[in-house]
């Protein structure tokens, strides 16, 4: 009986109504503050203070409703206004929550660029197919409209025997791009297909051309593929300019050397010798720089400065022939101490699909004890590279143990 009487008094004094309205408004305020903090409009400490103030204010509101005279007790219109306020507050909170989820996930459909398969046994064809896969992924990855999966995930061995639909599900991808390559130097044949996440074929096309027409071949693929994806039509020209901004070498030996480095690590001495005779072929020097940077983490600390110097020299040669190529800045940012939090949004805008950049920024925020931003950046890196062992290992380090041990992850 006492419980029924207490409940009756709570209803009579509008305590329950006051609690619901207060909690709904607090939830809406927290969603708004969290959204603004994620956009760096307000400081994260404001969210913490709002939580503390909100929790502390709840008992004060309940006590005030119990002891103070409320106009709601006698006036029906105020009770109706309270109900409307609850509905509006809950609706506003739901909208803000949905907006926050949109902001965090960038609302970008994910595309996985699967390895282009060589349909003959010639090792040169296999190298070229792998090289073309990497180039197409790079060209799509410059577009902020898409989340373009890292190749460590889309080429993961665990996907080899799966169907297209199963690969898409494993990678959480809305689109899957795949292809096959065959033929010889004077007549390469390339077939490309774009699938939806459920495995349905969206687009298919076949291209032919000699080895020396690498730039033209990739341009043809872009022209045909672009309208099939949610990409801005006017941005196709930007991607075509990027394709032409860092020229291919002018002989088949150099092109095959470039392709070989991407797939098998390559022979650094052979690459250096070929690159020395092609100062105007920025892609060769870019491959050299990437090759050297990839070796640094596996070397003892005493040997790293020498390889770092060689990598920076190669980047300098690239900058002379194709200064606007985005990989130059990206390699600098993730492999040197030039990266800073002051322009994090600008870095991400220029390199929207680089898991390594998100991880490097996440480590800076982790070192500054800004764990919310650390988690957001680490989550985006995880979405870009869900099957990448190194990426997932570094994310665990960042969120659990600090992420400062360069040798802990492969």
CATH 3.40.50.10070 in the chain: give the residue spans. 110-244
Q: Report pTM.
A: 0.72
| pLDDT computed for residue 348 by the predictor | 92
Q: What pLDDT score was predicted for residue 183?
A: 86
Looking at the predicted structure, is the pLDDT value of residue 365 above 50? yes
Of 207, 214, 217, residue with least CA distance to 247: 214
Residue 356 has pLDDT above 80, yes or no: yes
Give the tens place of pLDDT for each residue, 238-271: 999 888 888 788 788 888 888 887 655 555 666 6
Fold topology of 110-244 = Rossmann fold (3.40.50)
- Write out pLDDT tens, residues 120-156: 888 888 888 999 999 999 999 999 999 999 999 999 9
Task: Give the torsion sign (CA, 348, 349, 350, 351).
Answer: positive
pLDDT band (50, 70, 90) for residue 74:
low
Q: Nearest Cα to 333, choosing from 318, 320, 317, 350? A: 350
Q: Who's near 165: CB < 8 A, 6+ residues apart?
A: 195, 197, 198, 199
pLDDT tens track for 90-110: 666 666 555 554 444 446 899
CA torsion through residues 287, 288, 292, 293, sign: negative
- Please report, for residues 3, 135, 139, 185, 285, the alpha-carbon distance to residue 113 in angstroms, rounded to integers and kept in the order given: 63, 10, 11, 24, 24
pLDDT on residue 83: 60
The pLDDT of residue 335 = 87
Mean pLDDT of 75-97: 61
Share of the chain above pLDDT 90, in %: 33
Collapsing DSSP to helix, strand or coil, 191 comes out as: strand
Say which range, 115-129, 168-182, 373-387, has the weakest mean pLDDT. Answer: 115-129
**Is it the case that residue 55 has pLDDT exceeding 50?**
yes
Q: Determine the pLDDT at residue 215.
A: 86
């Amino acid at each position: 009986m006492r419980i029924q009487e207490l409940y009756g008094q709570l209803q009579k004094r509008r305590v329950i109504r006051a609690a619901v309205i207060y909690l709904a408004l607090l939830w809406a305020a927290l969603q708004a503050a969290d959204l603004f903090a994620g956009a760096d409009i307000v400081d994260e400490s404001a969210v913490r203070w709002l939580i503390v103030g909100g929790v502390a204010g709840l008992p004060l509101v309940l006590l005030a409703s119990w002891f103070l005279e409320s106009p709601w007790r006698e006036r029906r219109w105020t009770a109706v206004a309270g109900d409307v306020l609850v509905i509006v507050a809950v609706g506003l909170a739901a909208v803000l929550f949905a907006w926050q989820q949109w902001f965090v996930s960038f609302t970008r459909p994910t595309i996985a660029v699967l390895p282009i398969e060589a349909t003959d046994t010639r090792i040169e064809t296999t190298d070229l197919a792998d090289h073309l896969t990497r180039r197409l992924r790079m060209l799509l990855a410059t577009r902020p409209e898409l989340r373009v999966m890292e190749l460590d995930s889309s080429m993961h061995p665990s996907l080899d025997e799966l169907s297209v639909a199963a690969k898409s599900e494993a990678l959480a991808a809305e689109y899957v791009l795949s292809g096959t390559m065959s033929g010889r130097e004077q007549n390469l044949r390339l077939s490309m297909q774009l699938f939806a996440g459920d495995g349905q074929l969206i687009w298919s096309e076949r291209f032919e051309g000699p080895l020396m027409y690498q730039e033209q071949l990739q341009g043809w693929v872009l022209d045909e593929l672009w309208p099939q994806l949610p990409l801005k039509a006017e941005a196709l020209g930007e991607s075509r300019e990027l394709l032409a901004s860092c020229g291919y070498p002018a002989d088949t030996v150099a092109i095959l050397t470039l392709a070989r480095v991407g797939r098998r690590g390559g022979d650094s001495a052979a690459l250096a010798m070929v690159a020395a005779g092609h100062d105007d072929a920025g892609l060769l020097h870019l491959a050299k720089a990437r090759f050297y940077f990839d070796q640094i983490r596996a070397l003892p600390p005493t040997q790293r400065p020498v390889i770092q110097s060689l990598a920076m020299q190669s980047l300098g040669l690239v900058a002379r022939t194709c200064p606007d190529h985005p990989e130059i800045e990206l390699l600098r940012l993730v492999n040197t101490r030039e990266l800073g939090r002051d322009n994090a949004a600008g870095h991400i805008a220029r390199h929207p699909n680089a898991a390594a950049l998100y991880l490097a920024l996440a480590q800076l925020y982790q070192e500054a004890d800004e764990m919310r931003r650390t988690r957001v950046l680490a989550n985006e890196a995880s979405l870009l590279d869900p099957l990448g062992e190194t990426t997932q290992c570094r994310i665990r380090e960042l969120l659990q143990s600090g992420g400062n041990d360069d040798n802990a992850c492969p």
